[in-house]
Amino acid sequence: MADLNIRNLQKDYGDFSAVDGVSLTAGASELVALLGPSGCGKTTLLRSIAGFVPVTAGQIEINGKDVTRLAPNKRNTGMVFQNYALFPHLTVEKNVGFGLEMRGISGAEADKRIAEALELVSLGAYGHRYPKELSGGQQQRVAVARALVVNPDVFLLDEPLSNLDAKLRQSVGMQLRDLQKSLGLTTVFVTHDQKEALMMADRLVIMRAGKIVQEGSAEELYDAPASYFVADFLGHSNVVSGKVTPEGFLSTGGTMFRCDSAGMPADRVMTLRPENLILGPAAVALPNSFEARIQSITYLGAQSEVTLSLPGGDQLTATHQNRTGDSLTLRVGDMISAGCLPEAVRLLVDDMTTAH
C-alpha cells in the first residue's frame, strides 16, 4: 500500500514548460490515467515520477518520503515503457531480473522473485526465450513482469497498450487492471486514448500544455466536462456556439435551447451528446424540440449517426438506435423532429478558439 503525492511540479526546457505547476495525488490501489493530446507533458510527468527526468521545481513524495532528488533505482517505482525496452540479447528471465540486479538482489532470492513475476503474467514457461521469440502481447507481459518484480510502491505505465492491435488492447487492458487491483498497486498510467482511459482508470487527469485542466472519475468528466477542450477530448461531438438570452435560453444561429444558464456570461458554447438528441415523434413533447433536415446517415450496425442541419445552418449529430420493427424512417434530405432535455444541454467556456 502506497501513495503518491506530487506538489507544484515544474519541468522547464529553456523557457518552455513541459510540466507546469502540476499537483497530483494517487492513493493506495488507485489507477490514475494521465490523458491529453500529444505534447501536453504526460510522459515528462511520468518520467519525472520514475526519476528519469530531473525536475526544475516542486516535490514528489512516495509514502510520505521526499524522492524528488533520488536516483531512479532508489525510488522503488516500476515502469513499463511504451516500446517495452526489453534487452534483445537477454532471455525473458534475465530481462525480468534486471531490476533486481540493479538493486543488488541475486541468487536464489532473485530466481524465486523472477519465477513469481513470470507466473503473475502467465509466462512461467517462457523464461528461456528471447524477446524476438515472443508475440507483441507476450513482450508486453515481460515488460510488466520486469516492472513488478521489484515490488514497486508505484507502478508507472507509459502507453502500455499502444503497440498492441485493437483486438488485443481491450483484453490486455482488462488483465492489466485486474493485476493492478489484485496486487493493490498505486498506478499512474499515460495514454492519449480516451477509450483506454475510460476503460481502465479509477480517476482521469486531463492535461493540456503542461497543466492539469480537469480530473475526476470517467462519469464525472464525461457528464460534466468543465470546458470545451475536455468535452471535445472525451468524445462529445456536438458543439454549437451561441448567446445566453435574458430569459435563460441559449440562442444559436436559428434555434433557442432551454438549458441551465443561471449566472452564465453571454458568450458560451453548447455541447450536446449525440445519444441525448432524440429523433422522431418522441422528440415533439420535449422542452427543446425543433425541426431539422437530415444531412447524412452513417450506418454503424447497432446504431446510426444521423447528422442534422438546423434552420440557422448549425449542425448536430444524433445517435439513433437501430431496432427491429422501428417505424421511424430516416432518409437524407427529409425534415425530421428532433429534441432534447434542457439538462442534456451543457454550456461551457470556449477554451478552444480563445487563448488558454
Using the minimum distance from each CB to ligand ATP, give the nearer residue, 177 or 211.
Answer: 211
Using the minimum distance from each CB to ligand ATP, give the nearer residue, 31 or 149.
Answer: 31
**Least separation, in Å, of the C-beta of 43 and ligand ATP?**
3
Cα–Cα distance, 134 to 155 (Å, whole number): 23
Among 9, 24, 41, 292, binds ligand ATP (CB under 6 A): 41
Cα–Cα distance, 49 to 77 (Å, whole number): 8
Does 42 sit near ligand ATP (CB under 6 A)? yes
Does 54 sit near ligand ATP (CB under 6 A)? no
Using the minimum distance from each CB to ligand ATP, give the nearer residue, 201 or 310.
Answer: 201
Could you give phi then psi for residue 326, rounded to 5 degrees?
A: -65, 130
Does 192 sit near ligand ATP (CB under 6 A)? yes
Q: Angle, to 10 degrees, between the axis of helix 136-148 and the axis of helix 92-102?
A: 20
**Least separation, in Å, of the C-beta of 102 and ligand ATP?**
23
Binding letters toward ligand ATP, positions 1-40, x by CB under 6 A: ------------x----x-----------------x-xxx
* Strand 203-208 with 249-251, pairing: unpaired
The cell numbers describing 296, all together, are 447524412
**Least separation, in Å, of the C-beta of 214 and ligand ATP?**
16
**Least separation, in Å, of the C-beta of 52 and ligand ATP?**
11
Q: What is the CA radius of gyration of the chain?
A: 25
Using the minimum distance from each CB to ligand ATP, give the nearer residue, 192 or 268.
Answer: 192
The cell numbers describing 143, all together, are 515488460
Number of C-beta neighbours around residue 23 at 10 A: 12
Does 165 sit near ligand ATP (CB under 6 A)? no
Could you tell me where the beta strands, DSSP code E, fall in the chain? 4-13, 16-26, 31-35, 57-62, 65-66, 77-80, 154-158, 186-191, 203-208, 211-216, 239-244, 249-251, 256-258, 267-271, 278-279, 288-299, 303-309, 315-321, 335-340, 346-348
Among 24, 43, 146, 186, binds ligand ATP (CB under 6 A): 43
Chain residue at closest Cβ approach to ligand ATP: 43
Binding site for ligand ATP (CB under 6 A): 13, 18, 36, 38-44, 192
